[in-house]
Amino acid sequence: MSTQKYTIPEVQTAAVVQKTGGKVQMKHDIPVKQPDQLAPGECLLKMHCTGVCHTDLHAALGDWPVSPVTPLIGGHEGVGEIVAIGKDTADSPVKIGDRVGVKWIAYSCLNCEQCRKGLEQNCYNVKLSGYTVDGTFCQYLVSWVNCVTPIPDGIESEEAASVLCAGVTVYRALKYSQTTTHDWIVLPGAGGGLGHLAVQYAKYMGRRVIAIDGGQEKKDLCLKLGADAWIDFTQCKDITAEIKRITGGKGAHAAVVTTASSSGYSQAVDYLRDGGKLMAVGLPAKAKLEASIFFTVFKSISILGSYVGNRQDAIEALEIAAAGKVKVFYKLDSLSQLESVYDLMGQGKIAGRVVLSMRDKN
Ligand SMILES: [Zn+2]
Ligand SMILES: [Zn+2]
């Protein structure tokens, strides 16, 4: 494979967490895997940018029951261009120079039972970006030609980055919510990173949206994005009653719960109408789902876990965004700012998404 177009350095800058719970350090001497070292099927990306997600913070803190690899290079919503492809790679769907994305599911084998059924995210041989393999908080990243997501024209890399994780996740949850046009969907956390995308995908799909979040800034954002109703959880005393009122007494058809608190989940069983679907999407580290079994049965409620998305979900979510139907609101920073982004994120002070650029000097 030709790589004349690109000069590939021996070392690069990356944001590294030596030990979970430790600080993020900018390291400038991280080796770059050279083109002749790539295995068949592997590709090398020169990164443009990466989103920062709550998952990255959980990984850095070691919050989850499964530990990440250390030293950890986090990040799982990155966009870059292919600068090399491993030799003897057969039938590559992408070529050198293509703009592609790396998502949380860095690799799935495409051959196991889960992959064959389209559940690539549950592949028995899965590799998770920024968790079990190096992630996108770096300048050069090794990925796999069959697993990168081609980025369509019409969307900036910075915008595409957030679609690759938050966008794909909420898009798939909505797609599998068994709702139809004009149905009511409740979106707790609607003003957040996942939520603000969920509002737009839901509206694009013709659903009616009840946005729940707190504060004027998030209210303005949700209504601007087309939410049909707004509930401020910091002021509303009875969210279930309010949702019933908005939906003519019957309750909502579905809820896509992206929040990290357990109350957001258990409450949904109360405010969903009979036959309602609770799509569980957030990944709180320890919270338990305490739904009323009686009412889950009596109301024929379905509680469904929806975990990120497969390659096709990613392609669809990006196409909708590239067609201008979904806008990502993000703040652009540089990779070296990761530590302070984590601080703000830990305090819940980030509205929308943060994207870090690798195009400037870090
Ligand atoms: Zn993410
Ligand atoms: Zn598989």
Give the model's pLDDT for residue 286.
Answer: 80
Give the model's pLDDT for residue 288.
Answer: 85
Whether 172 is covered by a domain: the verdict is no
What is the span of the domain harbouring residue 323?
11-167+309-357
Q: How far apart are CA 197 and CA 210, in angstroms?
A: 14
**Which DSSP category does 167 fall into?**
I
How many CA atoms lie within 13 Å of 245's alpha carbon, on the beta-carbon side?
9
Whether 362 is covered by a domain: the verdict is no
148 with 188, same domain: the answer is no
The CA 121 to ligand 2 mean position distance, Å, reads 8
The sheet with strand 229-232 has its strands ordered as 229-232, 208-213, 184-188, 252-257, 272-280, 302-305
155 with 218, same domain: the answer is no
Q: Chain-centre distance of CA 355, in angstroms?
A: 12
The CA 292 to ligand 2 mean position distance, Å, reads 35
* Segment 122-143, tens digit of pLDDT: 999 999 999 999 999 999 999 9
**Ligand nearest to the Cα of 74, by number:** 1
226 with 347, same domain: the answer is no
User: In this structure, are residues 260 and 282 in contact, taking their beta carbons and an 8 Å threshold?
Assistant: yes
- Secondary structure of residue 11 in the 3-state scheme: strand
**Ligand nearest to the Cα of 136, by number:** 1
162 with 15, same domain: the answer is yes
**Ligand nearest to the Cα of 120, by number:** 2
What does residue 16 show for φ and ψ, rounded to 5 degrees?
-120, 135
The CA 123 to ligand 2 mean position distance, Å, reads 4
**Ligand nearest to the Cα of 127, by number:** 2
Whether 1 is covered by a domain: the verdict is no
Least confident of 13-27, 154-168, 233-247, 280-294: 280-294
Domain count within the chain? 2
15 with 163, same domain: the answer is yes
Q: Chain-centre distance of CA 301, in angstroms?
A: 26
The CA 162 to ligand 1 mean position distance, Å, reads 8
* Segment 323-358, tens digit of pLDDT: 999 998 889 999 999 999 999 988 877 766 899 999
Whether 2 is covered by a domain: the verdict is no
256 with 318, same domain: the answer is no
Whether 287 is covered by a domain: the verdict is yes
Average pLDDT score over the chain: 94
The CA 316 to ligand 1 mean position distance, Å, reads 17
143 with 23, same domain: the answer is yes
User: In this structure, are residues 159 and 165 in contact, taking their beta carbons and an 8 Å threshold?
Assistant: no
Give the model's pLDDT for residue 283.
Answer: 78
160 with 19, same domain: the answer is yes
Give the model's pLDDT for residue 264.
Answer: 82
Q: How far apart are CA 20 and CA 24, in angstroms?
A: 10
Whether 6 is covered by a domain: the verdict is no
80 with 128, same domain: the answer is yes
Whether 211 is covered by a domain: the verdict is yes
The CA 160 to ligand 2 mean position distance, Å, reads 25
Query: Which residues fall inside 5 Å of ion ligand 1, going by CB?
Result: 53, 55, 165
Q: How far apart are CA 343 and CA 350, in angstroms?
A: 10
Whether 233 is covered by a domain: the verdict is yes
User: Residue 69: which CATH number?
Assistant: 3.90.180.10
250 with 313, same domain: the answer is no
pLDDT above 60 for 269: yes
125 with 156, same domain: the answer is yes
* Segment 274-310, tens digit of pLDDT: 999 999 998 777 888 888 999 999 999 999 999 999 9
Report the predicted TM-score, pTM, of the whole model to 2 decimal places: 0.93
The CA 124 to ligand 2 mean position distance, Å, reads 5
187 with 157, same domain: the answer is no
pLDDT above 80 for 4: no
* Segment 224-260, tens digit of pLDDT: 999 999 999 999 999 999 999 999 999 999 999 988 7
Q: How far apart are CA 146 and CA 225, in angstroms?
A: 34
User: Residue 296: which CATH number?
Assistant: 3.40.50.720
**Ligand nearest to the Cα of 103, by number:** 1
User: In this structure, are residues 77 and 165 in contact, taking their beta carbons and an 8 Å threshold?
Assistant: yes
